[in-house]
Homo-oligomer: A and B are copies of this chain.
Amino acid sequence: MSHHIVEVKNLKYTYPDGTCALKDISFRITHGESVAVVGENGAGKSTLLLHLNGYLMSGNGIIRIGDYPLTKETVKEIRRTVGMVFQDPDDQLFMPTVYDDVAFGPLNLSLPPEEVDSRVENALFTVGALHLKSRPPYRLSGGEKRSVSIATVLAMSPDILVMDEPTSNLDPRARRKLIELLKTFKHTKIIATHDLDMVMDLCERTIVIHKGQVMSDGPTAEIFMNQELLAESHLEKPLRMQGCPVCGNK
């Protein structure tokens, strides 16, 4: 079964205004892998992620999710398989209560009410936010919002989780909790981020994007040891690898 494979081949994308955001991207992610997509501001990370669930489609290049190539016919099926978590939870939480929000996707799949209910409870339980069920999302703290926005995606029981900068704006503990949470998931994970320390904790593999091209693709540890590569793509070693300024460790 190749159900959770993500394959991108020679993907190119130019925004209608002529900005060439993706020049030539190819990679293959297999079942259960956890992959980071890193690169400077404007490198094309978000554009790439938007292709994975068919929000953007270009004639150029091939995307396969599981057994299907992504086409107009399969996009509906594929959106169930690929769950996307946005950078700003406020973009994702628009219903009057947390419950409604998490139930929004399953209801649109026309599932029976009991099934919807159990999915919502499960998803909220998994992220540890069951107690927020009846709260309106705009009254939640940043960390709580983030957990709920992940729950909205989990409730669709996706096989692949795609996340755009999930740790931004969280306090250290909330960030840590999120990392722990994500570690427990067995899904295939694709995470675009600037938080390279999280990458070290979560992803065994890293893809570096630079000006719309794959600049490097390999084991996370190797990539972060490559000083030149990092400098060229506006990155730095993860902070933890930079040595402690107090005790002077390198």
> Is residue A217 within 8 Å, beta carbon to beta carbon, of the partner chain?
no
Q: Contacts A142-B41, A243-B240, A245-B201 given; indicate if A194 touches B171 (C-beta within 8 A).
A: yes
Number of copies of this chain that the complex holds = 2
Are B244 and A241 neighbours in the complex by a CB distance under 8 Å?
yes
Are A194 and B221 neighbours in the complex by a CB distance under 8 Å?
no
Q: How does the 8 Å CB contact mask read for A206-250 relative to B, with 1 for contact and 0 for none?
A: 000000000000000100110000000011101111111110010
| 19 extra interface residue pairs, beta carbon distance < 8 Å, beyond A41-B171, A239-B239, A241-B244 | A39-B171, A40-B171, A40-B174, A41-B142, A165-B169, A168-B168, A171-B194, A171-B234, A172-B234, A172-B235, A173-B235, A197-B239, A200-B245, A200-B246, A224-B246, A225-B246, A240-B243, A240-B245, A244-B249
**Residue positions of A touching B, CB distance < 8 A:** 39-42, 141-143, 165, 168-174, 176, 194, 196-197, 200-201, 221, 224-225, 234-236, 238-246, 249
